[in-house]
Amino acid sequence: MDIIIASNNQGKVEEIKKFYKKLNMNFLSLKKFPHLPKIDEKFNTYESNAIEKARNISGITSMITLADDSGLEIDALEGKPGVHSARFGGENISDKERNQLILNLLKDVPEPLRTAKFICVIAIVKPDGETYTIKGVCEGIITKEPKGNSGFGYDPIFSLPKYNMTFAEMDKDLKNRISHRGKALREAKKILLALIRKK
């Protein structure tokens, strides 16, 4: 069974493919479909953005499509960057620059108040329009400096006190087990397996 991952974020695509490597499914990234239009994340909720991406791509390709929208919500910044996480600080800055911007905004905030959470909502849409959504949440704190070399996005500045590591310091298996996306993907797996059985 072919399934489109509605993302141009290669780090995210690889994370999803690795998570589902044992499933009898062929996951395709948007790079395989250069003719598809760019879907703007114009809504104010993760769920609406994920559904919009999946519905649009599935509607054009007539294929099952999996999309996610995720973000980092920092309590000291009143929930920012939130749904705007991927573009926070501007479209054309690097992950490293975006992380530094967050650290600069929090420079006077003590550790007990640096609480944050990652949220991921996954939408799975079938060609007939049937839609499923799943949410995963992971709570942690924002570090004082970037740590670790793996992962992507905000991973180097998001730490889980229980493990005393950032996502960027973890191996992929551990991250996939405990992260917001890992939790959502685990629940989404049940839906994907049910779709296989129906075929």
Residue ranges for the binding site for Mg(2+)?
A: 40, 69
Residues 6+ apart with CB under 8 A from 198: none
Helix 10-19 to helix 180-198 angle, to the nearest 10 degrees?
60
Q: Which residues are annotated as a binding site?
A: 7-12, 40, 69-70, 152-155, 175, 180-181
Give strand pairing partners of 73.
Answer: 81, 117
Closest among 173, 159, 50, 62 to 103, alpha carbons compared = 159
Q: Which of 2, 68, 69, 173 is catalytic?
A: 69
**95 is a catalytic site residue:** no
Catalytic residue numbers, as ranges: 69
